[in-house]
Structure 1
């Protein structure tokens, strides 16, 4: 296999390696957002309630967030490509089972359990392989740019694509579409090679995996319960925090005893990586939170259907695509810290415009400038943010940091939806919309502060991370 990390590498080889990885991120992001426009159709077809379908969506988030760290760790033992293909197969079976679901139970099994498990298995290898196969900063920026561009497009355009398929054919066809894309990815993956051999003798920290999964499940459940019961939310968040504290004590003790933990505590001593993960969490919080808030407002208050709402979101999709695909050129000219900081600034300005426009103009197209800026900002910073985290550690630790990084991002997605939902549940109105967006803008300032705090000398920061 040609060295795709070298500047002189054939462009065909680059595309062959990158295509399945980027498409995998696309379909997983698509699955996380497209189902929102199918709730009424699914509930009527399966003779269930809207709340029942929402449970399926919630369980998907729980499974994905809980298993992402163990999924990343398993790549060291069984190999990156093998876990990638296994995740695709499980996901594909889940999509087909969902498409044929006769009732809510089978829907939850296919969509929530199997697709959630498949996502947790296949996503960490996407970022590990991109890091290992694209070895220099420029080519890696191009790889992450393509991956994050398709991931952002999948999340932003998911409601439009899902709405079109549901309107033209049926909601079941949307899951057949996912299975077809999975089959294409498996076919394209024949060109992938794992740069590191698997180590079947490598130990796996089962207790740590259970504790981390339980802690993340409780935290996500608490976040998702925020719009139903304040005391339940607090209770679940406290239990989740205590479980995660138990997890940290466990891995510290296991490490002190000379045994390999699920995650090394030294991962959390890398300042650059920690700040990068904060920016990742806030980025996905802004993306999913703003998408949910604007979409709900347009549909419920303005009366737009799923397709009309999706068309409005084209502005965000175009902005994200344009800036993500420019990641390679931007990486050559600007430091990653600068790009992340600029991205947050653009995103926050976009949110402010979205707040101002709703009170000034009746046309839904007034949302386009703010969504365009939001998309541009997210596209500018998604790639360097991932690069900062992944590049802070050597090859041997990519399994650990990839799983942890993806869990942090998924928690951001869940938190964004929950924060927006908690505010909007008080009553969908212009005031509730503005309040939700103000909270998102304030959270964006936290991400901006983390970005500003990133080291200026990235070469030294990366070298320090590699020594840990």
Structure 2
């Protein structure tokens, strides 16, 4: 595959580009919401414990987080449309492996392939959208629609996915994504013009290997530490190796021309804050999505479909607020909107941490609604702020870094908060004395993380942080 010449061609039909890129987001998020909902059924069928179910989520998250930066670089080098379509094709392949998986090991393998596809497709979707909508106000509205696909996925996934799990079985949820993949590929070839900017860009293989070793080692230690004991020589050795790898990553990147991790970007306080906020947002959110379906099905005796319906207040508020967030950021600026969004997510998580077996579903629904409002207020602006903070020619790298931070937060949210939960509830996550204390501990820590994100947004994001920077 040879690098493409330097060119960036604006598409003639931005609305179709918006649809195509939004389908990419829809694919990844439907996958996340449906798999979380089906975890209890998968665990029973494949005889898997909590740590295996954490890996079903985190194998995807980890590969996604580790390779997002490479996905952004490949798009700059070889064509953003090409890499976007390749990502969707890999995602479809991984989904098919999951649908046919005879064991938890094969299922986790399929999730790895799906994560690779998402790492290619997701950063390119944001870059293609940024190219299609160069103006600040029109881009803000387009990003709101793009972000609302996350909420739409949380409606389609729990309702349709829950019904499929109940009526056909958990394998059917993976087939759900395949027709969307085909539509996304066809529409992308029709609507999206190819673009690339390979100037001074190259693959940073040492940086990529160190990033995988560091992130993978820390995730492994967090997930398996409680199972194998935190003080076991293997866990300590893996954790130490991961920290060494991440230290070497910073050292190598500081001495590499065109690095995978451009350290000069991290010196910009707005960009660095956007990365931290994105990571803290998903740290608490993905743990909530992992644990709340278990609560509904294990403690309240709900079916997967009923658990999906119980999550709808969050999904609906996310979709509604995402449609309005472009107007809100134009009116008040991203600082106010993002601070409010993270505070809402913190408040909702802390309330959910206090629920019991007989807590009113109205109280739970209101808390989930508030979490969805926070997601809607934060998802699009944090993406827009990160991309706007760097020169336009490095948009692919900025998008990759932002999404990497988001998925690192998700990976360690499921790993660390899942481990806290399992320390109380046990590997089988049965409805015993430890379930609710585990839920409370995990969601409380997640809520504190969201509140820290609100403080960062207030301190570091500025009213005009969505204004794009020149080349």
C-alpha separation between the residues in 2 aligned to 1:54 and 1:350?
Answer: 23
1:366 equivalent to 2:359? Answer no
Instruction: Quote the residue 2:72 is aligned against.
Output: 72
Instruction: Tell me, in whole angstroms, the C-alpha distance in 2 between the residues paired with 1:383 and 1:118.
Output: 22
Per the alignment, residue 459 of structure 2 pairs with 453
User: Which residue does 1:34 correspond to in 2?
Assistant: 34
CA distance in 1, matches of 2:327, 2:150: 19
The aligned counterpart of 2:174 is: 175
Q: Quick one: which of 328, 334, 337 aligns to 2:335?
A: 337
| Residue 294 in structure 1 maps to residue 292 in structure 2 | yes
Cα distance, 1:156 vs structure 2: 6.9
Other-structure match for 2:100: 100
2:372 matched residue in structure 1: 375
TM-score, normalising length from structure 2?
0.87
SS at the partner of 1:225? helix
Cα distance, 1:392–1:466 mapped onto 2, change above 3 Å: farther
> Counterpart in 2 of 1:307?
305
**Structure 1 residue 121, shift from structure 2 partner:** 1.1
2:391 equivalent in structure 1: 394
Alpha-carbon distance in structure 2 between the residues aligned to 1:105 and 1:418: 18
Contact 2:68 2:120 in 1 (8 A): yes
Cα RMSD after superposing both structures: 2.8
Corresponding residue of 1:424: 421
Q: CA deviation at 1:278?
A: 1.0
Q: 1:48-67 alignment to 2 at 5 Å?
A: 49-50=48-49, 55-67=55-67
The more displaced of 136-145 and 72-81 is: 136-145
Partner of 1:318: 316
Shift in CA distance, 194/219, structure 1 to aligned 2, threshold 3 Å:
farther
Q: Which residue of 235, 246, 249 maps to 1:247?
A: 249
Residues in 2 aligned to 1:436 and 1:200: alpha-carbon distance in whole angstroms: 45
Distance 1:241 1:431 in 2: 31
Q: Deviations over 1:150-190 (max 9, x none)?
A: 12443576344322212222322212111111011112213
- CA–CA distance in 2 between the matches of 1:104 and 1:430? 26
**CA shift for structure 1 position 119:** 1.0
Which position in structure 2 is the counterpart of 1:164? Answer: 163
- Map 1:163-312; keep pairs closer than 5 Å: 163-194=162-193, 196-197=195-196, 199=198, 202-228=201-227, 229-231=229-231, 235-254=237-256, 259-312=257-310
Change (3 A) 1:234 1:293: farther
Q: Tell me, which stretches of 5 or more residues in structure 2 are unaligned?
A: 1-7, 426-433
Q: What is the CA–CA distance in structure 2 between the aligned matches of 1:67 and 1:20, rounded to whole Å?
A: 22
Unaligned runs of 5+ in 1: none
After superposition, the Cα gap between the structure-2 partners of 1:282 and 1:157, relative to the gap in structure 1 and judged at 3 Å, is: farther
TM-score of the two chains, using structure 1 as the length reference = 0.88
Residue deviations 1:265-310, cap 9 Å, x none?
2111111000011111111122212223332222222222222111
SS in 2 for 1:304: coil
Distance 1:106 1:355, change over 3 A: closer
Counterpart Cα distance in 2 of 1:172 and 1:355? 31
Aligned counterpart, 2:445? 439
Whole-Å separation in 1 of the counterparts to 2:57 and 2:435: 25
Q: Which moved more, 1:127-136 or 1:294-303?
A: 294-303
Number of residue pairs aligned between Structure 1 and Structure 2: 451
8 A Cα contact 2:335 2:462, kept in partner: yes
C-alpha contact 1:68 1:124 (8 A) present in aligned 2? yes
**43 and 384 in structure 1: CA distance in 2 versus 1, 3 angstrom threshold:** closer
Q: Does structure 2 retain, via aligned residues, the 8 Å contact 1:355–1:434?
A: yes
CA contact (8 A) 1:223 1:414 kept: no
- Structure 1 residue 40 displacement after superposition: 5.2
Match of 2:400 among 382, 385, 403: 403
Shift in alpha-carbon separation, 1:200–1:178, aligned structure 2, 3 A: farther
Answer yes or no: is the 8 Å Cα contact 1:138–1:331 preserved in 2. Answer: no
Distance 1:397 1:231 in 2: 43
Paired position in structure 2 for 1:125: 124
1:270 and 1:48 mapped to 2: Cα distance? 48
Partner of residue 146, structure 1: 145
Pair 197,2 (structure 1): closer, same or farther in 2 beyond 3 Å: closer
Contact 1:208-1:247 within 8 A present in 2 as well: yes
Report which stretch shifted further, 32-41 or 282-291: 32-41
